Chains A and B, each alone.
Chain A
Amino acid sequence: MDSPTEARPILLIDDVPENLAFISEGLKLRGYQVRVASSGPEGLAAAQETPPGLILLDITMPGMDGFEVCGLLKAIPNLADVPVIFMSGRNEVVDKTQAFALGGVDYLQRPFRLEELALRVKHQFGLAALQAQLRDKNRSLGLALEEAKILNRELVRINERLRISEDLQGHFLATMRGVINNPLTAIIGLADNIHQGGGSLDQARSLASLISGEAFHLDFQIRNIFAAADLEAGTCTPKVAHVDVGSILAEIAGAFARAADSRSIRLVLMQGPEHGALTFGTDAEMMRTVLANLIANAITFSPAGGEVRIGATLRGSALAVEIQDGGIGIRAEDQALIFDRFRTVETGTTSDHQGPGLGLAITRALMDLLGGKIEVDSVLGQGARFTCTFPEFNVMDETSTSSFAGNLFIFDSPKEL
């Protein structure tokens, strides 16, 4: 602070009126603001009311002397850093020592010339300004360090996630072999059985039914793999049409009826054709893939004899589809992980049901493409409810306006680049 007028005021504490007048006049002439107090308690009160930039403190005062005032000042948090210059007519080493020990920054031996006082005051203000700058620098350095730490932690987390993703990919390939090989082996074996003949027609029928079930499962998994590949390529564009939600749900429920029946699981459709038409603007194929995966999971993770409830309702202009199972549920800490690719969460007895762990990653990526969201609500041991919210899609207008998720924009005139 070069200009003294910008500084905070100087507080002058002295019991001798002539000293107060003489010093304050001299400092005011040099551009400083000066406030005066004629006793220790008065000075303390003034300092607390408006924290000064500097305190000139007489040592020898009746009642509370300068040392006591200084000790009290240093105990007040927002005043502790205000520099104190002691003034005294006493020339004892012990006084000077105590003055500095109490936190004084300077000691002026009376009598002194005003020029000397002014120079020392200026010096102290200069130091204070440098200290303030240093504090600011330190604070921003501290902040930068804090940010660097946060970024570093984030980097460590990302690295870990990428490493896990790589590991999972390796695991995925191993799982895929099982996912494709096991049903294929079963299909070939069962088909051979029929082919070699010998059994009754009923036996052949039940074998064919098993083949059909295995083939359906295989087909579903392979479709998922292709869906993931398409999503990663980024080339599948939603084909928006008016979709009959009820018949899509009924169709999926029909397709999974056999899988559900085999474990006596009831599929309860709360939105079927009998509930009246519910048509909605979205991509039918993407919606089908999303819901088929969620329903397949719900069946897989439900206990035998359980129930999977599927409901669809319009919420404003959005469509919410809920799929509730009565299964083992998902631990709170696993609920964010289940959407990662190749990730299957171990929760006890499900290892015989493990697929490649693509379903929910596909589901989330498809919901992203459709501009919707998917949420999971689950308490361990009490089933899980997945809710997909589909926004109504409009067809983009190709002229001067465009719509996206129901917003209409008007554009300025174009420029060519």
Chain B
Amino acid sequence: MVPPTPKLPTHVLNPGMLFAHHEEYVISTLLGSCIAVCLWDSRLRIGGMNHFMLPLWQGRGLPTPRYGNIAIEKLIGNLASMGSRKEDLVAKVFGGANVVNYSPGLFPVGTRNIALADEALTAHGIPILAKEVGGTRAMKIEFNTRTGTVILRLVAKGQGVPASLPDVRPR
């Protein structure tokens, strides 16, 4: 078991949001078909995480980090505003599980989210150091913004990805 780190300030990241901090924080989030991209600056030792639900903002409603193409740009922007250079950033990518019997498009939303994360990070030239994506199990991750480490817990077998986590409807 990894010992708990009770003293560190913790930020619980909700779907559709992002969080980055120059101090040591543990960012925790729960993922189903959503993707969380953890970006870490190996030079400044700072980091941030997003949690997006759908791959692309398609011009409807507000361009919020609920959408992958917005969420990744915003997170890079947030870190840049704290002094990060893009060449110092590394990424870890999590989530994108597929809810059984739920695929409104050609590919399930989890799969499309994974593809978006890959493409966007590659386009920015940010290397992906760790990737735990796909499958059919939800997971909880905890990302330390100082060390860049991620602690991952898969939901125990048999629970699958609950359909209510979160309610993703393409618009």
Interface residues of A (CB under 8 A from B): 147, 151, 158, 161-165, 228, 231-238, 339-341, 361-362, 364-365, 368-369, 371, 373, 396, 398-400, 402, 404-407, 409-417
Q: A407 touches which one: B4, B62, B71, B162 (CB < 8 A)?
A: B162
Interface residues of B (CB under 8 A from A): 1-2, 4, 10-19, 28, 30, 50, 56, 58-66, 70-71, 74, 92, 106, 130, 132, 138-140, 149-157, 159, 162, 164-167
- Residue among A340, A409, A410 with the most chain B CB within 10 A? A409
Q: Are A407 and B154 in contact (CB under 8 A)?
A: no
Q: B18 touches which one: A235, A410, A416 (CB < 8 A)?
A: A235
Q: How far apart sit A101 and B156, CA to CA, in the bound complex (Å)? A: 69
User: A369 and B14 in contact (CB under 8 A), knowing A232-B63, A402-B30, A404-B166?
Assistant: yes
CB-defined contacts of B151 to chain A, threshold 8 Å: 414-417
- Residue among A234, A410, A415, A416 with the most chain B CB within 10 A? A234
CB-defined contacts of B19 to chain A, threshold 8 Å: 235, 237
CB-defined contacts of A236 to chain B, threshold 8 Å: 17
Q: How far apart sit A311 and B164, CA to CA, in the bound complex (Å)? A: 26
CB-defined contacts of B74 to chain A, threshold 8 Å: 232-234
A-B contact pairs, 17 of them (CB 8 A): A158-B56, A165-B59, A232-B62, A232-B70, A232-B74, A234-B64, A234-B65, A237-B12, A365-B66, A369-B16, A396-B28, A399-B4, A406-B164, A409-B140, A409-B159, A411-B155, A414-B2
Q: Are A410 and B66 in contact (CB under 8 A)?
A: no
Q: Are B150 and A411 in contact (CB under 8 A)?
A: no
| A42 CB to nearest B CB, Å | 49
Q: Are B61 and A361 in contact (CB under 8 A)?
A: yes
Q: Are A414 and B152 in contact (CB under 8 A)?
A: yes
Q: How far apart sit A407 and B165, CA to CA, in the bound complex (Å)? A: 8
From A228, which residue of chain B is reached at the shortest CB distance?
Answer: B62
| B170 CB to nearest A CB, Å | 11
CB-defined contacts of B140 to chain A, threshold 8 Å: 402, 409, 411
Q: Are A411 and B62 in contact (CB under 8 A)?
A: no
Q: How far apart sit A406 and B162, CA to CA, in the bound complex (Å)? A: 11
| B163 CB to nearest A CB, Å | 10
A410-B159, A414-B152 known; 6 new pairs, CB 8 Å cut-off, are A161-B58, A339-B60, A415-B152, A415-B153, A416-B2, A417-B152
Q: Are B61 and A234 in contact (CB under 8 A)?
A: no
Q: B154 touches which one: A147, A161, A341, A411 (CB < 8 A)?
A: A411
User: A361 and B17 in contact (CB under 8 A), knowing A402-B30, A416-B149, A417-B132?
Assistant: no
Q: How far apart sit A186 and B165, CA to CA, in the bound complex (Å)? A: 49
From A229, which residue of chain B is reached at the shortest CB distance?
Answer: B62
From B17, which residue of chain A is reached at the shortest CB distance?
Answer: A234
From A401, which residue of chain B is reached at the shortest CB distance?
Answer: B140
Q: Are B106 and A147 in contact (CB under 8 A)?
A: yes
CB-defined contacts of A407 to chain B, threshold 8 Å: 162, 164-165
- Sorted nearest first, the 7 A-B pairs with minimum C-beta distance are A234-B65, A161-B59, A411-B153, A165-B59, A162-B59, A417-B130, A234-B18
Q: How far apart sit A232 and B74, CA to CA, in the bound complex (Å)? A: 9
Q: Are A410 and B156 in contact (CB under 8 A)?
A: yes
CB-defined contacts of A164 to chain B, threshold 8 Å: 59
- Residue among A232, A235, A365, A411 with the most chain B CB within 10 A? A411
CB-defined contacts of B14 to chain A, threshold 8 Å: 237-238, 369
User: A411 and B65 in contact (CB under 8 A), knowing A234-B50, A234-B71?
Assistant: no
Q: A231 touches which one: B64, B153, B165 (CB < 8 A)?
A: B64
Q: How far apart sit A339 and B12, CA to CA, in the bound complex (Å)? A: 28
CB-defined contacts of A417 to chain B, threshold 8 Å: 92, 130, 132, 149-152
User: A412 and B155 in contact (CB under 8 A), knowing A371-B167, A404-B30?
Assistant: yes
CB-defined contacts of A165 to chain B, threshold 8 Å: 59-60
CB-defined contacts of B62 to chain A, threshold 8 Å: 228, 231-232, 341, 361-362, 364-365
CB-defined contacts of B30 to chain A, threshold 8 Å: 396, 402, 404, 409
Q: How far apart sit A174 and B157, CA to CA, in the bound complex (Å)? A: 55
From B12, which residue of chain A is reached at the shortest CB distance?
Answer: A396
